[in-house]
Amino acid sequence: VIYYGPGPTYCPSDYLLTDNTYVIRGEPEESLKELCWALDNGSDLKSVLGLSYRHNGKIRENGFRPLIEQIDSLPFQAIGLIEGEKYKYCNPKLGAKPVASAITSRNCPYQCIYCVPCSLSFARELEYKRFHNNKKPPVGRRSAKNVIKEIEMLARNGYRAITFHDDLFIMGKERTIEICRGIEKYSLRWGCATRADTIDDDVVKAMSRAGCQYIDLGIESFDQRILEDIRKDMDVECIERSIKIIKRHGIKAKLNILLGASPLETVETIQYSMRKVKEVDADQVMYNIANPFPGTELYKLAKQ
């Protein structure tokens, strides 16, 4: 059994219960390939970086697996392994199917104290911080041309919609617009998540023309003191301006509100954020309860 993800990366010993269990920490692709090769050939596992395992009853932890710098070198998702409709992903926000998933970048540079990004990114972040004095890993971005080639492959195989699972889809104005121009020719419906401070009129206009149906915004709160306390690094005026731009171009604005991430949160601040959600006329809203996940700054604060 091979484990991977934030939990096994954060505490491998919780998963290494027998000599037949293995944990891949952080960056998985090369480690998984090398582990499978070593197990198949009966080779020594010492050379597999990013691996934790048991040997003669004792846990061994191999060294850090460097991040893949050239993400374009990775193969596209193996959609040929998905047979029939049973396992095909569905996203009701897109109104078309079948729906594919895609990721165009890795990791997020911001310092929000509560944040667990997508599990793949968070596992990398936990491992990188462990070996780099608690620093966040650098952001990796696929080139626009590489992303467009995958989109072409998905469209050619009958997919009519895409959910982009990047922690931060808009990374660089020119790159984002180039990706949108590549999507445009395939008449796909798609959605993504990003920060409000990455939104500008040119980018959202290009996204709308390319078939973007919704943009997920991590708002968390409309109280400026709380945004500063959770190190969101954003102001309320920017949030309100971004929502207006999104709606002006016919894209649905989905807001994510996080309750209880700061000790400054009160019944009154929660009610204020709820009133503001109505005031800005959000198309969709998701209210979440802050959870101090192991490995986050919020977890350390909660323990203290």
- pLDDT of 85 > 70? The answer is no
pLDDT of 143 = 97
Q: What local confidence, expressed as pLDDT, does residue 103 receive?
A: 95
pLDDT at 88: 66
* Angstrom distance (rounded) from CA 195 to CA 197: 5
Q: How many CA atoms lie within 13 A of 206 on its CB side?
A: 16
- Which helix H or strand E contains 3, and what residues bound it? strand 2-4
State how beta strands 161-164 and 252-259 pair.
unpaired
pLDDT of residue 120: 82
Q: Which of 67-71, 82-86, 295-299 has the lowest mean pLDDT?
A: 82-86
Tens of pLDDT, residue by residue over 182-220, are: 999 999 999 999 999 999 999 999 999 999 999 999 999
Cβ atoms of 141 and 172 closer than 8 Å: yes
Could you give the dihedral angle defined by the CA atoms of residues 189, 187, 153 and 103, in that order, rounded to the nearest 10 degrees?
Answer: -30
Distances (CA, A) of 104 to 48, 67, 192: 27, 16, 11
- Find all residues with CB under 8 Å of 151, minimum gap 6, and list them: 102, 162, 182, 183, 186, 188
Q: Which residues pair with 51 in a beta bridge?
A: 24
Residue the block writes with tokens 């920060």:
195
The tens digit of pLDDT for each residue in 127-143 reads 999 999 999 999 999 99
13-50 confidence digits (pLDDT tens): 999 999 999 999 999 999 999 999 999 999 999 999 99
Residues pairing with 100 in the sheet: 162
- For 224-278, the pLDDT digits (tens) are 999 999 999 999 999 999 999 999 999 999 999 999 999 999 999 999 999 999 9
Whose tokens are 């990706």? That residue is: 179
Amino acid at 178: E
Q: What is the average per-residue pLDDT within 283-301?
A: 94
Rounded to whole angstroms, the Cα distance separating 25 from 50 reads: 5
Predicted local confidence at residue 91, as pLDDT: 85
- Other CB atoms within 10 A of residue 174 CB: 10
* Distance of alpha carbon 160 from alpha carbon 151, whole angstroms: 10
Element (H, E) at 140: strand 140-141
**pLDDT band at residue 102 using 50, 70 and 90 as cut-offs:** very high
* pLDDT(98) > 70: yes
What's the pLDDT score for residue 90?
78
- Structure confidence at residue 79 (pLDDT): 85
